[in-house]
Structures are given as structure tokens and as C-alpha cells.
């Protein structure tokens, strides 16, 4: 493995560790964690709402096909 490539990978790993540490322990980390939870909950709500809507449309279409 080329030494420059290896050095670059090591530096990228260290920078990533520092960024993660700052995100977890730095200023605003509590707000960031709260925003992530809110975003996760919104994504789940959108997914479940879409799934329920699709299931309802499917049942409605199948019910209407049985009447004909």
C-alpha cells in the first residue's frame, strides 16, 4: 500500500473521530441530538402514514372490484 494513501486514510479517520467527539460533546450537542430524534420521528410518521394510505387505497380498490 502506498504510504501517502495510508497516511491520508489515517488522517481522515482521526478527523472523523474528532468531528464525532465534537458532535457528541460539543456546544449544541443536546440540540443536535434532539433534532435527530425529531427527524427520526418525522420520518417514521411519514413512512407509516404512506403505508396506511397505500393499504387503504388497495383495500378500497379491491372492494370496488368485488362489487362489479
Query: 20 pLDDT band (50/70/90 cuts)?
Result: confident
Whether 11 has a pLDDT exceeding 70, the answer reads yes
The grid coordinates listed for 26 are 460539543
Measured over the CA atoms of residue 51, residue 53, residue 56 and residue 61, the dihedral's sign is negative
Which of the 8 DSSP states describes residue 41? H
45: number of Cβ within 10 Å:
10
Distance CA(12)–CA(29), nearest Å, equals 22
Percent of the chain predicted with pLDDT > 90: 63
Tens-place pLDDT, residues 29-57: 888 889 999 999 999 999 999 999 999 99
Amino acid at each position: 500500500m502506498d504510504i501517502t494513501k495510508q497516511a491520508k486514510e489515517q488522517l481522515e479517520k482521526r478527523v472523523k473521530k474528532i468531528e464525532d467527539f465534537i458532535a457528541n460533546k460539543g456546544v449544541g450537542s443536546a440540540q443536535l441530538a434532539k433534532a435527530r430524534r425529531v427527524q427520526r420521528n418525522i420520518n417514521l410518521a411519514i413512512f407509516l402514514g404512506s403505508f396506511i394510505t397505500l393499504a387503504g387505497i388497495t383495500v378500497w380498490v379491491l372492494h370496488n372490484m368485488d362489487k362489479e
